[in-house]
């Protein structure tokens, strides 16, 4: 019987629910108030990032995990034929959109600095995770993964 550790089920189940609630809440509020160009750009980043994240997540199927694993081969089809880390990239784009949206919405200099620091830390974390994952993949698959890296970006 397949079991999930505590973090896996939280990310796999609660992550998409959280993003859906954030996106729908932002849309509902702005359709009732005012939609500016900055908010539209921020919402576009959120939706594009979230959409690519879902596509990549579904292509991974049961291979998705919080900690990088190199157990079931290299995925080279779909979005993974272009990007090695589409979930890291798309979640960073989406998080950047959320930070941009909130900075426009609240328009508070202290909050904006905090959101900027959060975005930098989040993107830095995703870059670190990608580097860690690539090291495991090279260790496990060697030349095959190095060749895959040459054909793809990030």
pLDDT digits 0-9 by tens, 96-124? 998 888 888 787 888 889 999 999 999 99
Q: Are 76 and 20 in contact (CB under 8 A)?
A: no
- The contacts of residue 152 (CB under 8 Å, 6+ apart) are 80, 81, 82, 83, 84
Q: Are 115 and 81 in contact (CB under 8 A)?
A: no
Average pLDDT score over residue span 64-82: 80
> Taking the model in full, what pTM does it have?
0.77
d(CA 122, CA 124): 5
Choice between 39 and 30, residue whose per-residue pLDDT is larger: 39
Residue ranges covered by each domain of the chain: 6-151
């Amino acid at each position: 019987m397949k079991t999930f550790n505590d973090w896996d089920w939280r990310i796999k189940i609660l992550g998409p629910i959280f993003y859906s609630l954030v996106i729908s809440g932002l849309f509902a509020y702005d359709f009732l108030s005012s939609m500016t160009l900055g908010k539209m750009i921020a919402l576009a980043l959120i939706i594009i990032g979230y959409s690519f994240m879902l596509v990549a997540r579904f292509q991974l199927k049961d291979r998705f995990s919080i900690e990088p694993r190199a157990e079931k081969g290299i995925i080279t089809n779909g979005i993974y034929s272009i990007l090695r880390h589409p979930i890291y990239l798309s979640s960073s784009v989406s998080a950047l959109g959320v930070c941009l949206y909130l900075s426009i919405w609240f328009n508070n200099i202290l909050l904006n600095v905090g959101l900027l620091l959060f975005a930098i830390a989040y993107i830095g974390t995703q870059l670190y995770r990608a580097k860690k994952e690539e090291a495991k993949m090279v260790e496990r698959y060697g030349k095959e993964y190095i060749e895959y890296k040459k054909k793809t970006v990030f």
